[in-house]
Structure 1
Amino acid sequence: MKLLKTLAAAAVIASPALAQTPGVTDDEIKIGGAHDLSGIFAPFSVPGVSAVKAYFDKVNAEGGVHGRKLTYIVEDHGYQVPKAVQAANKLVNRDQVFAMLLSLGTPHNLAMFQLMEPQGVPNVSPLTAARQMVEPFESWKFAGTSSYYDATRVAIEYMSENEGTEKVCIMSLPTDFGKEIEGGVKDLVENGVVELGVESGHKPDESDFTGALGKVKESGCDTTALALGIGQTINVIATAHKLGMDDMKFYLSSAGFHTVVAKGLAQQGVMDGVYAGAGWQDLEARAGEPAVAEWIANYKEATGTDFPGTGALLGRSAAQVMVEGLKAAGPDLTREGFIEAMETLDFQDPISGNHVDFSAEDHVGADEIFVSRIENGSWVLVETVE
């Protein structure tokens, strides 16, 4: 906490009112991102960063935005909050980026906010769907999609009405991210939609879930809500099947709604019983749509990747939001002008399959919630809530 206060004070000193707009020169705009390139959510960050850079490269090759090229400066925090604070300090105070884009992690963004808020550094489309990305409301906060909390409520209510979910257990990381999923489940419990079973907290590096699953089975839950890392999610579900818990349904938040999860579970012989709620549609299911097919081909060519996947989808969409906001802000770029311009954006994103619109009162870009389930190694859309 003492470190955060010291760095926040430094941030104020580093931004005199009459100074040139940080991160902006006649020919460049510097954008920052703090990512998990080496930890449990690397399957989101690594392709996400590649997609942002590929999108920016294309924009730069076409002349940039109002004659300025876009530079994406990335720091790895490995899903560790102290490293996220160090990354933000470097990006905001040393690199003096204009804005932050796609930074991953709920507690990580919350910690970085203490350095960003004094300078009003815009935070655009973070790789977390926690409500705190826009609550309490601050002009510089812009979330990409609907929240973990709302998606959890919608998806589990769907499971209750259509898939026989009656009692829900929770296995989660003991973080603000985990609390969002817990909150969505417990709200449904309070409203009498489902019953609550056993809850268990797990460390980011935990890999043995046999004991926790035993308690889930003993509690009589028919559904388990997970708020864990990508590898942990696959591990838990595969272990449950090895333990004979074949009838157990699993709910994943958007943090588990990933191509890697569907394919990883298929390799373990798990072909169904897994559901997710998210603010975007799965990419693989729409690969035949012209706009999606074109982007997939361009991404493969730019990065050498076989298939973009979920992290890349989110990176591309975040980059589009940033570029559209910069275009709308005009050539005389300031943070205040950018924020006002962002509040005018209104467009359909064909890659994420959602509708993006901001206003002065609403800083959540896409409000739809898409409920999907795994069928034979792929995500299949089962319900859309506008």
Structure 2
Amino acid sequence: MRLSLPRALAAGVMALVALTTGCAGTDGNVLTGPGVTADTISLGVLGDLSGPFAPLGKNLMQGNQLYFDKVNAAGGICGRQVRLVVADHGYNAQRAIDLYSQVEPKVLGFVQLLGSPMTDALKQDILQDQVLAAPAGWSSWLLRHPYLMVTGTTYDLEMVNGLDYLVNQGGVTRGDAVGHVYLDGDYGGNALQGSTFAAGQLGLSLVPVKVDEKTRDMTAQLATLKAQRVKAILASVTPAQTVAIATAARAAGLDVPILSDNPGFDPAILRTQMAPWLEQKLLMVSSYAPFGADIPAARDLAAAFRARYPSDAPSAAVDYGYAVANAYGEILATACANKDLTREGVHRAFRSQHTIDTGGLNPLLHFSDAGKPSADAVYVLRPDSHVPGGLAIVKNLFVSALASRYEIAAL
């Protein structure tokens, strides 16, 4: 399978290529809003290209760009080329606020908004401006916001699927204790919501351990978990903290599996002394495919990445960046078909999306049910320093029986 344009988008490109910007109510023309000219649709990227998540932010942006390169080469959307307006907030919330005020009037929407603190700082502005924004975050709490496009399986569902997988593999059994080291905030807190549900349903005793972003040494936390005789450790932390958990677990003689959700991994952790141990003990759950995975869409994307960025190191963030741009492109094509490229028209098109197929880069995406996750399936992945991007598939996309029974908290 090639990186071909999805059918809805191809129809928008081919059937609507002759349309140009028009006045409201004029037959045969398209209503337009901010960021749309006769030949261009501009989308914003508020990312981290210089701060602590710069490698992730760069790969996300590259994935975004590779998708729209493909679209533009095929004629664009609604006869217009899609242009990315990129701004680097350096993982600073105040900087993000300042940049948003500069970029927002120039764009139709935001295909990337990286960082939970930045998303939280901008939620009210996004609501007031009625601009569709795709956060690089997967808290189900974000589903409460009508203009945040959460693309993929949420943290709570990742943990429900992941813990059910551990039990089904026989590594954990009813009556066992399981630790969960989690970051204070919407990422860790939402993941804990899922692990709490799963542990209760599976007859496990959950031992939660809260940390903050400044926690570097996990010796005390792992001593607590060892004293509770945990049989597995769940981790909803930064990649550096994933390494710290593994380091402290090995030092404590706590020889148990570690299960992390997608923000807890970066290929750089496989360049640490803990790499061999991590390759044996760490599992990841994620709703987007690892870079270069043995599925056609991921293979083709890897080839496109190497051709466009031959000197850059890839990660799974390339796949996510491409997939979220794919979803945004489908939404724009639908808005074009509806002859309404205003922000209101884009939002209506967003909520009309019943199924978006990214070729396995993400599960099938559904945005039509407000307040519900766009997906509930995950991959199970294992670190592998011998593959580009550092992750290999252990289990292909699946939804556990337990996840099928899980209900997102009422909005």
Shared fold per TM-score greater than 0.5:
yes
CA apart distance, 1:345: 5.5
CA apart distance, 1:258: 5.2
CA distance in 1: counterparts of 2:309 and 2:203, whole angstroms: 46
Q: Who is 1:187 aligned against? A: 197
CA distance in 2: counterparts of 1:319 and 1:362, whole angstroms: 21
Q: What SS is found at the alignment partner of 1:207? A: coil
In 2 relative to 1, CA 72–319 (structure 1 residues): closer, same or farther, beyond 3 Å? same
Q: Does the 8 Å CA contact 1:346/1:356 hold for their aligned counterparts? A: yes
Q: Who is 1:229 aligned against? A: 238
User: CA RMSD of the aligned region, Å?
Assistant: 3.0
Q: Who is 1:379 aligned against? A: 392
CA apart distance, 1:76: 2.7
Residue 329 (str. 1) matches residue 335 (str. 2): yes
In 2 relative to 1, CA 63–98 (structure 1 residues): closer, same or farther, beyond 3 Å? same
Instruction: Map 1:1-386; keep pairs closer than 5 Å.
Output: 21-92=33-104, 95-124=105-134, 126-135=135-144, 138=146, 140-165=147-172, 166-191=176-201, 193-203=203-213, 205-241=214-250, 243-245=251-253, 247-256=255-264, 259-261=267-269, 267-286=275-294, 289-305=295-311, 308-330=314-336, 332-342=340-350, 343-344=352-353, 346-359=355-368, 361=370, 364-374=373-383, 378-382=391-395, 384-385=398-399
CA distance in 1: counterparts of 2:231 and 2:385, whole angstroms: 21
CA distance in 1: counterparts of 2:283 and 2:275, whole angstroms: 17
CA apart distance, 1:144: 0.7
Q: Who is 1:3 aligned against? A: none
**Amino acid of the structure 2 residue aligned with 1:169:** G
**Amino acid of the structure 1 residue aligned with 2:399:** V
Q: What SS is found at the alignment partner of 1:350? A: coil
CA apart distance, 1:24: 1.5
CA distance in 1: counterparts of 2:170 and 2:99, whole angstroms: 43
**Amino acid of the structure 2 residue aligned with 1:248:** V
**Amino acid of the structure 2 residue aligned with 1:273:** K
In 2 relative to 1, CA 348–61 (structure 1 residues): closer, same or farther, beyond 3 Å? closer
In 2 relative to 1, CA 379–297 (structure 1 residues): closer, same or farther, beyond 3 Å? closer
**Amino acid of the structure 2 residue aligned with 1:267:** A
Number of equivalences: 361
Q: Does the 8 Å CA contact 2:330/2:356 hold for their aligned counterparts? A: no
TM norm structure 2: 0.78
**Amino acid of the structure 2 residue aligned with 1:171:** V
Superposed CA deviations along residues 359-386 of structure 1, whole A, max 9, x for unmatched, are 2547643332333344786433336117
In 2 relative to 1, CA 245–74 (structure 1 residues): closer, same or farther, beyond 3 Å? farther
CA distance in 1: counterparts of 2:38 and 2:60, whole angstroms: 27
Q: What SS is found at the alignment partner of 1:341? A: helix
Deviates more, 1:314-323 or 1:231-240: 231-240
**Amino acid of the structure 1 residue aligned with 2:316:** T
TM norm structure 1: 0.82
- List runs of 5+ in structure 1 lacking aligned partners: 1-16
CA distance in 2: counterparts of 1:376 and 1:72, whole angstroms: 32
Superposed CA deviations along residues 285-321 of structure 1, whole A, max 9, x for unmatched, are 41xx444322211111111246632010000111111
Superposed CA deviations along residues 149-189 of structure 1, whole A, max 9, x for unmatched, are 11111211221332433322232222211111121122234
CA distance in 2: counterparts of 1:367 and 1:181, whole angstroms: 14
CA distance in 2: counterparts of 1:306 and 1:263, whole angstroms: 16
CA apart distance, 1:202: 2.4
Q: Does the 8 Å CA contact 1:33/1:100 hold for their aligned counterparts? A: yes
Q: Does the 8 Å CA contact 2:64/2:324 hold for their aligned counterparts? A: yes
**Amino acid of the structure 2 residue aligned with 1:211:** A
In 2 relative to 1, CA 196–347 (structure 1 residues): closer, same or farther, beyond 3 Å? closer
CA distance in 2: counterparts of 1:173 and 1:24, whole angstroms: 40
Q: Does the 8 Å CA contact 2:289/2:319 hold for their aligned counterparts? A: no
**Amino acid of the structure 2 residue aligned with 1:51:** G
